[in-house]
Amino acid sequence: MALPHRIAARLARLYWRVRRPRTLGVRALVIDQHDHVALIRHTYITHWYLPGGGVKKGESFADALIRELAEEVALHPVTVERVLGVYTNRSEYKDDHVTVFVVRIERPADAPLMAADSWEIEAAGWFPLDALPEDVSPATLRRITEYRDGRNGNYGDW
């Protein structure tokens, strides 16, 4: 893992514990025409996650989603199909509200998913919806399950 990112993540969690800020985030459930999902592994935390990140002040959710996909995995252009759900995450002492979008992309079957920022993204890959890596984060697994079951999310806890 990248040491600067680990240190920054720990400092952020300490700040959140004291201040308990409200934050906004986006995640993308990126699905290709082969029913593979895009997952990333960060340099500063364990598990596989859906790509995404924070919404900056003055930025729309859609703009944040497009920016994050370009920054993390160089995916553009993308087609937003729908909102899967809006969730609340208070696990890191902040009042985080995350909107998950279902995104469709066409790609050649042999085109790998590349980490665009190697300081932040340790690994990126396409995975069949029925053959996910064992260490997918619990919340990511819940979002993928909601999608596979045809549900629009529970609009509740992350």
**Mean pLDDT across the chain:** 88
Phi and psi, residue 89, nearest 5°: -125, 115
Identify the pLDDT of residue 97: 87
The phi and psi torsions of 56 (rounded to 5 degrees) equal -80, 155
The answer to the question of residue 156 being in a domain is: no
Q: Which domain holds residue 7?
A: 3-148
pLDDT tens digits along 4-44: 777 777 776 666 566 666 788 999 999 999 999 999 999 98
The whole-number average pLDDT for the span 50-76 is 95
Burial of 77 (0-12, 13-18, 19+ CB in 10 A): exposed
155 inside domain:
no
- pLDDT band of 47, cuts 50, 70, 90: very high
Q: How confident is the model at residue 155 (pLDDT cuts 50, 70, 90)?
A: low
Q: What is the pLDDT of residue 75?
A: 92
Residue 121 located in a structural domain: yes
Digit-coded pLDDT (tens) for 80-109: 999 999 998 777 666 778 999 999 999 888
- Examine residue 114 and state whether it is found in any structural domain, yes or no: yes
Say how far apart CA 114 and CA 111 lie, in whole Å. Answer: 9
What is the reported pLDDT for 10?
Answer: 75
pLDDT at 78: 87
Residue 133 has pLDDT above 70, yes or no: yes
Q: For the chain, what is the domain count?
A: 1
Examine the pLDDT at 3 and tell me if it is beyond 90: no
Residue 37 resides in a domain: yes
Residue 80 sits in a domain of what CATH number?
A: 3.90.79.10
Closest CA to 125 of 140, 111, 106: 111
d(CA 111, CA 153): 29
pTM attached to this predicted model: 0.83
Alpha helix segments (H runs only) across 26-157: 61-73, 138-148
- Phi first, then psi, for residue 102 (nearest 5°) are -95, 125
Flag whether 157 is in a domain: no
60: in domain: yes
Length in residues, the chain:
158
**pLDDT the model gives residue 52:** 96
